[in-house]
Every structure is written in structure tokens, then in C-alpha cells.
């Protein structure tokens, strides 16, 4: 699909998105549980008062960047060196962000689970981490593309 001077393979973009979304949800949860286990922190029924989760928050943007960059590799691995153009990376990042925003709202606000938050807690209580995570989702394909270009550049 051609968009604004770039190309998006919708099927591959969706598969990479789902891979990243599931992976980061599992890894982020495991990080929080790991912190709770190692530091023997008491559990809390209120997610925004869970000390292990609050301690894990600063690590989540970096963890997201790594996972989404890996999934950028999944998306671009079948392309030639020149086809991971900047426009393509930005279109992929925008697509992922536009899918992640409503999906996060549904998964973590609307659907009531032990991980559910109020809209205020989700968008204000997690400040600045949630916005840094969204920045990581958007920029991960671009970061991957730039690293790929650097690795293909001959050393002088």
C-alpha cells in the first residue's frame, strides 16, 4: 500500500505489531513480577499503588524500544538494503502508534481486569512513562532503519 511517498505492507505490519504488542505486555508484566519477587514487595490490588510496577515504569520505555526495534527487523528483514527508506519507517511507526493507542485504551481502561486503570491513571498517573512508550513505538522503526543504514555503510 502506497502512503505519502512510502510503502506499507499491511499484513506484515500487523503481524509485527501483534508480535511486539504481545511480547512487550508479557515482558513488562514479568519485569514487574520479577522486581516484586527479588525485592519481596507486598502485592497491591491498586495498580498505581503497586510498588513493583512503579519501580518498573522507568525501564518500560527502553524495553519497548528494544522490542519494537526487533519487530521492525521482522517487518523489514525481507526487504533489500535500500527499501527500508525513512518514509517507510515513519509510515510503519505511525501505523503502529495509530493501532496501539485505541488498543491500549480498550485493553487497559475499558476492559476490566486486574491490570485495568482509570483513564486518569492511565494517561496522567503514568506520566511521563506512557508517552515515552508511545514515542518508542513510533520511533522504533526509524531507529532500526538508521541502525541498518549505519551497519551497511562501508567503514573508511
Label residue 83 by pLDDT band (50, 70, 90): low
Give the residue from 74, 62, 3, 2 showing the smallest Cα distance to 27: 62
Q: Cα 64 vs. chain centroid, distance in angstroms?
A: 4
Segment 116-137 mean pLDDT: 96
What pairs with residue 6 in β-bridges?
3
Residue 151: predicted pLDDT: 87
Span 17-63, pLDDT tens digits: 999 999 999 999 999 999 999 999 998 888 789 999 999 999 999 99
What 3 state SS string does 29-62 have? HHHHHHHHHHHCCCCCCCHHHCHHHHHHHHHHHH
Half-sphere exposure of 133 (CA within 13 A, CB side): 23
Measured distance CA(105)–CA(39) in Å, rounded: 30
Give the residue from 62, 80, 82, 81 showing the smallest Cα distance to 70: 62
Cα separation of the two ends of the chain: 37
Label residue 70 by pLDDT band (50, 70, 90): very high
Give the residue from 88, 85, 104 showing the smallest Cα distance to 21: 104
Is residue 154 predicted with pLDDT exceeding 80?
no
3-state secondary structure of 114: coil
Residue 35: predicted pLDDT: 97
Q: Cα 76 vs. chain centroid, distance in angstroms?
A: 17
Number of H helices, E strands in the chain: 6, 2
Span 84-123, pLDDT tens digits: 689 999 999 999 999 999 999 999 999 998 889 999 999 9
Is residue 80 predicted with pLDDT exceeding 80?
no
Geometric angle at alpha carbon 137, from 48 and 23, rounded to 5°: 70
For the entire predicted model, the pTM comes to: 0.92
Label residue 81 by pLDDT band (50, 70, 90): low
Residue 6: predicted pLDDT: 83
Amino acid at each position: 500500500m502506497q502512503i505519502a511517498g512510502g510503502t506499507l505492507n499491511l499484513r506484515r505490519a500487523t503481524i509485527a505489531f501483534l508480535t511486539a504488542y504481545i511480547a512487550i505486555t508479557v515482558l513488562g508484566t514479568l519485569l514487574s513480577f520479577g522486581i516484586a519477587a527479588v525485592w519481596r514487595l507486598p502485592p497491591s490490588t491498586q495498580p498505581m499503588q503497586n510498588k513493583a510496577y512503579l519501580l518498573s515504569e522507568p525501564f518500560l520505555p527502553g524495553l519497548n524500544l528494544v522490542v519494537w526495534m526487533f519487530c521492525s527487523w521482522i517487518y523489514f528483514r525481507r526487504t533489500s538494503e535500500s527499501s527500508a527508506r525513512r518514509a517507510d519507517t515513519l509510515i510503519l511507526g505511525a501505523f503502529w502508534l495509530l493501532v496501539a493507542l485505541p488498543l491500549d485504551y480498550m485493553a487497559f481502561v475499558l476492559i476490566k481486569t486486574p491490570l485495568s486503570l482509570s483513564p486518569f491513571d492511565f494517561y496522567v498517573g503514568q506520566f511521563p512513562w506512557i508517552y515515552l512508550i508511545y514515542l518508542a513505538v513510533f520511533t522504533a522503526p526509524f531507529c532500526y532503519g538508521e541502525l541498518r543504514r549505519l551497519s551497511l555503510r562501508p567503514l573508511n
